[in-house]
Structure 1
Amino acid sequence: MARERRVLTAGSVAVTGAVALVLGGAPAVAAESESIPPFRSLPSSPPERAGTDAPDVGHAGGATATYTVQSGDTITGIAIRHGLRTVDVLTWNDLSWSSIIHPGDVLTLGAPGSGGGDSGGGDSGGGSPAAPDEDADTYTVQAGDTLWGIAADHDLSLAKLLDLNGIDEGAIIYPGEELVVAEADGGESSDPPSIYDSPEYDLQASLNAPQAENVALIASVGRGLGVSEHGIAIAIATAMVESGLRNLDWGDRDSVGLFQQRPSTGWGDRTELMDRGVATTRFFHGAPDGATRGLLDIGGWESMNFGDAAQAVQISAYPDRYDRWRVAAWGWLAQHG
Structure 2
Amino acid sequence: MPVIAATTAALPAVVLSSLALAQPSVATPAPQPRKIPATLAAAMKAQAVNVGTVIPANAVAATLPATLRPMAPSVPDTYTIVRGDTISAIARRFNLDTAAVLQLNKLSATTLIYPGQTIKLKGTASAPAQPAPAAPSAPSATTSATVYTVVPGDTLGAIAAKHGVPLSSIFSWNGLNGSSIIYPGQKIKVSGGSAPSAPSAPAAPAPAPAPLAGTGSYTIKAGDTLSSIASRHGVSLAALMAANNNVTATTVIYPGQKLTIPGAGLQPVGDTKPLVPSTFLGFTYPPAVVSSANENKALLNASPVPSRAEMKSIVADTARRMGVSPSLALAFAEQESGFDQRAVSPANAIGTMQVIPSSGQWASDLVGRKLNLLDPYDNATAGVAIIRTLIATSKDLDTAIAGYYQGQYSVSKYGMYEDTKRYVESIKARQRTFG
TM bin, normalised by shorter chain, reads: 0.3 to 0.5
Q: Please, what TM-score do these two structures have when normalized by structure 1?
A: 0.41
Q: Please, what TM-score do these two structures have when normalized by structure 2?
A: 0.34
- Structure 1 or 2: more helix by fraction: 2
| Higher RCO, 1 vs 2 (CA within 8 Å, ≥6 residues apart) | 1
